[in-house]
Each structure stands twice: as C-alpha cells, then as structure tokens.
Structure 1
Amino acid sequence: MAKPLQHDPFAEYRTESNCGATSFLESKGLYVIPSKLEVKDTMIHEIQLPKDISMEILERLPIKSFVRFKAVCKSWKSLISSPYFTDCHFDRSAANSNKLGIVLEEYSDSNKCSIFFHTLDFSATSLGETTIVEHPITECEQANLLSWCRDLLLLRVKCFHKLLLWNPSTREGKEVPNTLHSYDYDYQSIYASALGYDFTLKTHKIVVILQTGRRWRFFSVYNVKTDKWEKNLFVDKNHHEAARFKDKPITLANGAPHWLICYPVLCDTCYYKIEYFDFALNKFEEIPQPDDGDYCISGKTANLFDKGGCLCIGYHTRLAFKVWVMREYGMKESWSKEMIFDTSIHGHHYPICFAKTINVSLVEEYVAEEKRCRFAIYDYDDKERGIELEFLTGRELTNKGAFAFVESLASLETEKVKEVAQEEPLILLETEKVEEEEPEISFGKGMAS
C-alpha cells in the first residue's frame, strides 16, 4: 500500500464517478480498485491520461487490482499484459517487498492433495497479516515444492509423474511436458532440478539433472516461454554418480539456481562446493566459499540462503549457528560473518528464510521440554523475538519451503510460434557448441488452477 501523498500529481487527470468516488486515488492518496461505475466513467476520459502517468499508477498497484483495471480500456489491457510492464511491476515490487511466502501441503482421504501458499506481509500497514491461496490437485497422493524464482513455483506431482509450474499471484498453473529424449526418460531419474530465469531471453527456465544408470549424469533445459525442451542433452561430466546435490536449490535475484554439492574423497570424508547453473551458457560454475575453519569442519550441516538477493551460507558449530553473506556476488573477499545465534544461551535456533528489504527472518525453535519445534519471526539485528506462527506448529518446515516473496504477473502462456516436427535430441558434452537452429515447440497440456 502506497503512503499518503502530500501533493497529488494526478489531480488534473482524476475523474469523478456518479457515486462521487475517485477512479484511481482516494482523497487520502491511496490506490483503490475502481467500481464498475467508475471503470465505465474512466473509459470516457482515458484519452486524458498520458501513457507515462498510466505506467506510474499501474506499477504501484497490487496484482489483485489488475483484473478490473484491464477492463478500463484496450490500451491499459495491452499495457498490463505486456512483458515490459510485467518486468517493471516486478522490479518496483521487489524493491519494496516486505513479504515472506510459505508453501505447505495438505492431504485428504479422498486421494486429493492441496498446495497452500501462505503470504506474510510485514509492511507498516499490514503488521504480519497472512493471506492464503489454495491450489488443489485432484486424484493425487503427493505433491511438493522443488524450487521457486520470481514468483513462479516448480512443483513435483508424483501420481502423474509430472512437473507443474504455478504462479500463486495470478493463480495460473501449467504442466511441464516430458523431455524430448523420452525414450531414455523416467520421472524417477530426475536427480535434481531447479527453476531459474534467463535475463537474455526474458524467460523462466528449468534445468533437470538426470541419473539414468550410466556413469555420467545428463542435464536438460526447458524454456517456459516457448514451452519446449532444448533439443540438446548435455553430459554433466563434473557431477559423477557419487556427487550429491544437498537439499533443494536457492535461486537468487540473478536468476541462477545454486546448490551445495558434496564430493566424496574417501569412504567417510567429502568436500563441498557451492555451484550454480548458468542458463546463458548451459553449464555449471563454482562460487568461492568463505575462509572459516568451522565451516570446513561443519560443511555437512550447512545450508544456502537468500538474504536481500545476496548469497548466504549458514552452518552449525558446537555452540552456535553462523551465517555468512557474500556482499559482492562471485567475490571471495566479500564474504562477511553476518550473524551468530548462540545456541548455548538461546537453545536450538535455526533461520528458515530472510525477508528481502526488512531485517526479519523466520526462525525455527526447538523446545526441548516439549520435544517439538515452533516457528517465530525474529528481528535478526536486535535478536528480538516477534510473533509466533501457530499455524506452523507441528510442521516440518525447512528453508526450502519458505522464502522472500514478491508478487509477479509472470505469464505461463506459450509464445505463438510456428510448430515444426521434433527431431531426435543430440547428446553433447558441456564444452561442445552447436549451431543454433529454429526453435521447436511441443505444446503441453495446460492445468487449470
């Protein structure tokens, strides 16, 4: 919600409806959803509103307002539906985001699974207000969250052996088609997967790492905008069958999913690397790690986090939980120790996720006398405990089921391109390059949300 305006720059463009209400701004300067009467009245005066003023107004609105604002006029509908506006709206929302998103699964006896998306809003006007969006998946026994990026969630539905994409802000959902190499593809062969974003092509992408029983793993990339998998299947020579992707990935603001990967050395020893997948180059790259003896010893207890778009790594020591933050991406010298939770004094405290623009985190607390976990909001600067989230009591929630949330208009619709016959995919080493060919498309079946 925008702050009240001391001076109304849009006064000359505001129109009054027959009921006396303003179409866009109330007298206090707050944005409101116009009534049908106001929308009709606004259409008469749309020519009075310049495009730059329209952009300035619309970029500030919550997504729930756009259904009605699309009905104002054709030019507004076209503007709101454009990829350019989607990016502008997301960037403005991300710069002022005070929300956390939590994904929970619910199961019933009727062979039905529902995904519940809880949004916690910590803005000054909401003070921890919670909203819930339900996404039912019928005739399914289990579904769970795999990854997220720019408000899109990647879900795995085991009963259909499918991957699903879901935008909880627009309630839009979509099935991800099987990879092109279906003759060698099995749902259970997906060893790891992640959702990311390619800023060059302006589209979300999915990377899946496949284990097919051979010595080397393979990876394949899916383009959400074109609804197609890349024709080439890449051999992942860096991650042999013994390498283990620890937990789910963390996708940062740069669109790259990051993993903590374990490489065994001897029977009982291993070393860890932080690696990310570069969608522009279709290859894995390594991130330098902090110089901390405790981290080297405690790598097996480490987890990756996203704090305001910065890569973080947290890990347990004997008496504390430490969190390091990489202030300048990719620069080893920029790692700094951000916070320490003293477990000898406060007991077991484990951060689940961090909000984007405010100093709060969702923290798991272990209550020894009750032998259970509870979850609360903390101010991690002052180490002050805030509200307890009772709806999470008794849940098993990791840092992969909660994250800083930003609303997005990201569409799951397929680009209109000419459909051509699919060719047998090629298998390439990561270092091999092939000449780009005309994109192919395989239209997947949409899923109603």
Structure 2
Amino acid sequence: MNLPEDIILDILSRLPVKSLLRFRSVCKPWCALITDPYFVQMHLSRSLAINTNLILILRKYPKFFYVDLDVCQQEAAVELDCPFKSPKGYLIFASSNGLVCMFDDDGVVCDSQKYKVYHTFLWNPSTETHKKLPFTPIEVPVNARFAYVAGYGFGYDPTTDDYKVIRVIRFYNAGDNGYYLIPEVKVYSLSTNSWRRIEDIPFLDTQHRLGVFVNSAFHWIAVCKTGQMGLGIVSIDVKDDVCREVPLPDSVDDKFYMVIGVLGGKLSMLCNFTRVCVELWLMKDYGVKDSWEKQFSIEQQSVLGYFD
C-alpha cells in the first residue's frame, strides 16, 4: 500500500538518526527525502520539542566516546570514529543541534610570528559528516608585544538559518599607562564558508574563553570598558556586529563568581556568593534588565563548596 508523502514524512521524522541513515538505502526517493533540508529541519525541530536523540560525548584523551541517552540499557560508552587525526588529539569546545565544533590540540605557528593558530572543524557524529573550516591567520599588529586567544564560541542562528563560529584574539602593547588591548575578532559563517573581521570591540578582558550563544549573539563574562570597571556580561551580535553590555539585575553586583549559560533558550547566570549562597537567574526578556528573575537560591553550607 502506498502512503501519502506527508504521512511518510511524519513517520520518518519520529525515528532515530541511526535508523534514518540505514533507510537512505531503501530507495532513491527515500534517500532524497531523508537528505532534503526541509526534512532535516523537521526532524531536528521534533527532536528538540520532545527532547529525544540525545547523545553524551565523552573524551578520554585522545579518543572520543558516546552514550546514547535514549537507550536506557546501554551499559558502556562506545568509541566514536573521529574523522580527524592529530598526534595530540582534539578538543570539543561547543555543540549545537548535534553539530560539534572542535579544534586540534596542536595548532600551527602563524607566519613568522610565534602565535599559535588552531585548525577548526565541524563534525556531526550521528550522520558521520564533517568539515574542516578554512584557515584564517592572526593579523598581528606591528606594535603587539604578545597575544593569545581570549574568546571563542559556536552556535546556530535561527534568524539566518546559519551556524557561526567566533574567535577573539587579544593583543597587548606597552603604552604610557601600562599594557593596553588591541582586539581582533573574526566570525565564520557556514553558509558562506568564510571568515569576516569585526572591528572595534570595546571590552578589555574575558574571564571565560568559551562564549555562550543565545539570541543571535555570543556572550562572555568580561571586564567591561564602558562605565565603571568591573565584571559584567558582554555580547557580540552576529547580525549587526555590535558589542554590547548586558545589564545585570540591581540586586547583584560583581562581587561574586559568575557563570553564564543557556536554559530553555534563555540567557542564564549562576552567581556564587562564596560561603553564603548560590543563585540561579534567568533573563526572561532578552536585553531587558528588569526581566532577570531569580529561579532559586541554595544556602546549604555542605553543598556550596561544590560550586567552586
């Protein structure tokens, strides 16, 4: 019996990725259907909605292993066949929608300058597809004394249906009042397979190199350049290439250890007031200061040490 195509689509979109990879060999129409971008997006949207097709990737240097969280009876992690080979292995720094962004743990020296640049890769362990990003050198200023990677990040931008990688290089040069910063920021777009340079990023120092991607912008905890000097949250919007400070709630300041993340698609902040309490905040309406809402507070002394 021949089923209507919309019924076949609905059935196939409910299946795990491994089954779909096998079913591509059933016939040419099925192969074309399963690899069609519309179906891929449909399958992804359904997986996100019902929280399925979850895989935990573990690293035991230099190998990678995975645990299928949808298979309750899985007894041990299974080794992944990493398509990239390097004597020193690779580091995964972010993932989005099943796509993993990673770089080699070796790096290459850029031109005649002694600055290391890491090759970046995208890898989908479920579909066994991968891509090496084009190499982009560090544009070292003539008066730079030293430099290193200050920030990086990876995420999916639904407004443009595109995946973005960002790299922030921090150069220092001795000025009249001590060392000052010369930043270099580059953004990679998967749709164009190219890097572009962003100019004039006004923040001094990121406290965590890995950026959090939400609302089409990368976020870091940083020493802000505008306003009073102190820790805050800065963002780089990949739509307009503008760097902004994200306002903190009035009830908190920079006198705590801060970690940011994404919870339910919202920007979140974990505040560790050492030996006092740990609070989790959620920004319900992005960019609106008054929309920060405290989700819970932990004050058990026996637990607080684990948040250090």
Determine which structure has more spread, i.e. the larger CA radius of gyration. Answer: 1
Q: TM-score, normalised by structure 2?
A: 0.79
2:69 is aligned with 1:114: no
- Provide the rounded CA distance (Å) in 1 between the counterparts of 2:300 and 2:53: 27
| Distance change (3 Å), C-alpha of 1:329 and 1:128 | farther
- In the TM superposition, 1:235-314 aligns within 5 A as 235-239=199-203, 242-252=204-214, 254-263=215-224, 270-293=229-252, 295-298=253-256, 301-314=257-270
Shift of 1:95: 0.8
Structure-2 residue corresponding to 1:140: 87
Structure-1 residue corresponding to 2:59: 105
- Provide the rounded CA distance (Å) in 1 between the counterparts of 2:52 and 2:276: 31
Q: CA RMSD in A?
A: 3.1
- In the TM superposition, 1:383-398 aligns within 5 A as none
Shift of 1:323: 0.7
Structure-1 residue corresponding to 2:185: 219
Shift of 1:173: 2.3
Structure-2 residue corresponding to 1:155: 102
- Provide the rounded CA distance (Å) in 2 between the counterparts of 1:320 and 1:119: 35
Structure-2 residue corresponding to 1:330: 287
- Provide the rounded CA distance (Å) in 2 between the counterparts of 1:99 and 1:322: 31
Q: What's the secondary structure of 1:337's corresponding residue? A: strand
Q: 1:117·1:168 contact (CA, 8 Å) conserved in 2?
A: no
Shift of 1:166: 1.6
Q: TM-score, normalised by structure 1?
A: 0.56
Structure-2 residue corresponding to 1:205: 164
Structure-2 residue corresponding to 1:90: 44
- Provide the rounded CA distance (Å) in 2 between the counterparts of 1:83 and 1:285: 34
- In the TM superposition, 1:70-85 aligns within 5 A as 70-85=24-39
The AA in structure 2 aligned to 1:309 is G
| Distance change (3 Å), C-alpha of 1:102 and 1:62 | closer
Shift of 1:273: 2.4
- Provide the rounded CA distance (Å) in 1 between the counterparts of 2:64 and 2:153: 19
Q: 1:140·1:157 contact (CA, 8 Å) conserved in 2?
A: no
2:72 is aligned with 1:126: yes
- Provide the rounded CA distance (Å) in 1 between the counterparts of 2:166 and 2:120: 12
Q: 1:246·1:262 contact (CA, 8 Å) conserved in 2?
A: no
- Provide the rounded CA distance (Å) in 2 between the counterparts of 1:236 and 1:135: 41
Q: Any stretches of 5+ residues in structure 1 without a counterpart?
A: 1-12, 14-47, 108-112, 351-365, 367-449
Seq. identity, % = 27
| Distance change (3 Å), C-alpha of 1:336 and 1:60 | same
Q: Any stretches of 5+ residues in structure 2 without a counterpart?
A: 108-117, 142-146, 174-180
The AA in structure 2 aligned to 1:261 is A
- Provide the rounded CA distance (Å) in 1 between the counterparts of 2:10 and 2:78: 28
Shift of 1:324: 0.9
- Provide the rounded CA distance (Å) in 2 between the counterparts of 1:144 and 1:204: 19
The higher-RCO structure (CA 8 Å, 6+ apart) is 1
Q: What's the secondary structure of 1:217's corresponding residue? A: strand
Shift of 1:270: 4.4
| Residues 27-84 of structure 1 deviation map (CA, whole Å, 9 limit, x = unaligned) | xxxxxxxxxxxxxxxxxxxxx2222112211111111111222123322222221222
Shift of 1:141: 1.7
| Distance change (3 Å), C-alpha of 1:270 and 1:146 | farther
The AA in structure 1 aligned to 2:182 is W
Q: What's the secondary structure of 2:80's corresponding residue? A: strand
- Provide the rounded CA distance (Å) in 1 between the counterparts of 2:269 and 2:138: 37
Q: What's the secondary structure of 2:221's corresponding residue? A: strand
Q: 2:151·2:208 contact (CA, 8 Å) conserved in 1?
A: no
- In the TM superposition, 1:284-433 aligns within 5 A as 284-293=243-252, 295-298=253-256, 301-317=257-273, 318-346=275-303, 348-350=305-307
- Provide the rounded CA distance (Å) in 2 between the counterparts of 1:335 and 1:129: 41
- Provide the rounded CA distance (Å) in 2 between the counterparts of 1:99 and 1:315: 31
More strand by share: 2
